[in-house]
Amino acid sequence: MTGGVSRKCSVILVGFMGAGKSSVGRAMAERLAWTFEDLDIRVERRELRTVAEIFGECGEAYFRRAECGALQELLEEVDGQDKIIALGGGAFAHEATRKLIESAKLETVFLDAGVDELWLRCTRQAEAQEIQRPMLGSRGDFAGLYETRRPEYLKASFRHETTGKAVDEIAAELIQLLRLKDEYC
């Protein structure tokens, strides 16, 4: 794409666990004075329980349906709004959810990073008890899941490398890449 974001200004951030979707999304929204939405939080609000509880009580397949339903609701509300939306790590790899996004015609950005760095970010967050991730698993499972999902993430409109970069730096780069501050919005 050469002309920046033109039709609607909402942007969806996708990528694996630890990619920084929520923190970068928040930083972008702050810089742009847009609103930020984290799909996992919407799922939790709709379900009145945490993501970890949903996985523990009802399993992954149920969570994927809940995630897809929450995204549908969000996309119905988003029309024409300036919003940065962060998905959970499995959402864009789930066909029904990805199809919903494709039909909404919003720009999607794959926040990419090497699997070693993703693992490090996630294990640090787990140690600090910042985020409970039911899909984290072992280092080997994590790498396997990353490889399986990567081709799906590459279906996003943009791929942006984040390895070794700080949240604010990535946010500024994405605003420039997507030309979110120029006449296209």
Q: Is 44 in the site for ligand S3P (CB under 6 A)?
A: no
Question: Which residues, listed in sequence order, are joined to residue 112 by a DSSP beta bridge?
Answer: 161
Kindly write out the interface string for residues 115-144 of this chain, putting x where it contacts ligand S3P by CB under 6 A and - elsewhere. Answer: ------------------xxx---------
Q: What's the min distance (Å) between Cβ of 38 and ligand S3P?
A: 8
Whether 32 contacts 175, CB under 8 Å: yes
Which of positions 1-30 make contact with ligand S3P (CB under 6 A)? 17, 21-22
Which of 34, 42, 88, 101 touches ligand S3P by CB under 6 A? 88
The interface region with ligand S3P, picked from 6-14, 86-94, 155-163, 173-181 by CB under 6 A, is 86-94
What's the CA gap between 79 and 156, in Å, rounded?
Answer: 19
Q: Which residues bind ligand S3P (CB under 6 A)?
A: 17, 21-22, 40, 51, 88-90, 133-135
